[in-house]
Amino acid sequence: MTGYNKLKNRIRLHFDKLPKNQMKIAEYIIENFDHISFLNVQQIAEATSTNVAAVVRFAQRIGFSGFSELRDEIETSLRNRLDSGNVFPLVKPSELSKDTLTLVANQEITNIGATLQLTERENYNKIIELILNSERVFTAGLGISHLLSHIISYQLNQIGIFSNPLTNSESTFLEQILFMNKNDLIITLSFPPYSKATIEAAKYANENQIKVVSLTNKKSSPISFFSEVSLIIKSENMLFTNSFAAISVLINAIVTECALKNKTKATKWLNELKNVTKRQNITND
């Protein structure tokens, strides 16, 4: 692990033990890591709606003498990262133009790169474990998250893992959760503006000892408080909606990892699907 990632992980390790105002500071620094070396302590305080003393105490809490030492460490880690050529963007700044296609593509590249940096491998592996050890996997989300919940379920079914997306039409999320048990798992997707129905579903499931994991945009999002594990995904978009490129990449990675961890079952299931498809085509003819 590079010094760059070590420092970010060091902040994340302290996150759950921080006071609420310092959580805001930690979150801001992680999300704006590449820009912190250009900001002073007053600017950090203003951006997080805290105060200078809170920023200094945060730096001390994670092992630095003060904010200046933390900022110097961030600057050093960034310089080393740049010197090593270990940067993610596929589109170089010199290649950028003002056309919409290039701007949108570069935004998606940035989202995917940031998501790779934010994904804690321990949490990622925990979600894989929970999926593989669950009797049934349900997915829940509204808006664009509703479409993505269908994609997760479809891909899991393709590798032999029973999965079904919750709907919010004939019956509510909460009504459908009544049919679940402690061996089931719910994968929730929650991005701004956060759906109250999805959050309530996670809360209700959690209260009834049904395991909940979430894909969301930040550690302090409402859904995370009712999730056993959360994965953080960047979904910034030029429009008012959330981008789903980085979300799709992570979904694909999760399902692929599940297939690789249980290759025998996945292969057998894919062969069965081929046989069913072939049988249907013969019948239809």
Q: What are phi and psi of 246, to 5 degrees?
A: -65, -35
Does the pLDDT of residue 35 top 80, yes or no? no
Distance CA 144, CA 175 (A): 22
Closest by alpha carbon to 151, among 160, 142, 162, 164? 164
Give pLDDT, residue 37: 76
Domain boundary among 87, 104, 137: 87
Give pLDDT, residue 231: 94
Give pLDDT, residue 33: 77
Does the pLDDT of residue 210 top 90, yes or no? yes
Q: CATH number of the domain that 259 lies in? A: 3.40.50.10490
Total domains in the chain come to 2
In a domain, residue 238? The reply is yes
Same-domain pairing of 62 and 122: no
Q: CATH number of the domain that 74 lies in? A: 1.10.10.10
Same-domain pairing of 80 and 123: no
Confidence of residue 98 (pLDDT cuts 50, 70, 90): low
Same-domain pairing of 61 and 185: no
The helix or strand, by DSSP H or E, that contains position 21, with its residue range, turns out to be helix 20-31
Distance CA 195, CA 218 (A): 15
Same-domain pairing of 58 and 12: yes
pLDDT in tens, 124-172: 999 999 999 999 999 999 988 999 999 999 999 989 999 999 988 778 9
Taking residues 39-44, report their average pLDDT: 88
Instruction: Give the global pTM.
Output: 0.67
Give pLDDT, residue 36: 83
Same-domain pairing of 146 and 21: no
Give pLDDT, residue 105: 82
Give pLDDT, residue 229: 94
In a domain, residue 279? The reply is no
Same-domain pairing of 144 and 79: no
Same-domain pairing of 133 and 230: yes
Domain boundary among 41, 71, 87: 87
Tokens 């600017």 belong to residue:
43
Give pLDDT, residue 207: 95
Where is average pLDDT lowest: 9-23, 33-47, 86-100, 241-255? 86-100
Helix (H, G, I), strand (E, B) or coil at 165: strand
In a domain, residue 102? The reply is no
pLDDT in tens, 240-284: 677 889 999 999 999 999 999 888 877 877 788 778 877 776 555
Tokens standing for residue 221: 């999002």
Tokens standing for residue 279: 């049988």
In a domain, residue 61? The reply is yes
The one-letter code for the residue type at 125 is N
Where is average pLDDT lowest: 136-145, 165-174, 177-186, 208-217? 165-174
In the chain, pLDDT over 70 holds for what percent of residues? 89
Helices (H) and strands (E) in the chain, counts: 12, 5
Same-domain pairing of 51 and 126: no
In a domain, residue 107? The reply is no
Give pLDDT, residue 67: 92
- What's 65's DSSP letter? S
Structural domain harbouring 130: 118-273
Which residues have a Cβ under 8 Å from the Cβ of 32 and sit 6 or more positions away? 47
Tokens 């590798």 belong to residue:
159
The helix or strand, by DSSP H or E, that contains position 128, with its residue range, turns out to be helix 121-133
44: exposed, middle or buried (Cβ count in 10 Å: 0-12, 13-18, 19+):
buried
Give pLDDT, residue 170: 75
- What's 242's DSSP letter? P
In a domain, residue 97? The reply is no
Give pLDDT, residue 91: 46
Same-domain pairing of 169 and 122: yes
Give pLDDT, residue 193: 83
Same-domain pairing of 42 and 176: no
In a domain, residue 284? The reply is no
Which residues have a Cβ under 8 Å from the Cβ of 211 and sit 6 or more positions away? 130, 134, 182, 184, 185, 186, 205, 228
In a domain, residue 99? The reply is no
- ∠ CA 236-238-242, nearest 5°, is 40
Same-domain pairing of 128 and 51: no
Confidence of residue 4 (pLDDT cuts 50, 70, 90): low
Same-domain pairing of 132 and 227: yes
* C-beta of residue 242 within 8 angstroms of C-beta of residue 249: no
pLDDT in tens, 191-200: 988 899 999 9
Give pLDDT, residue 238: 67
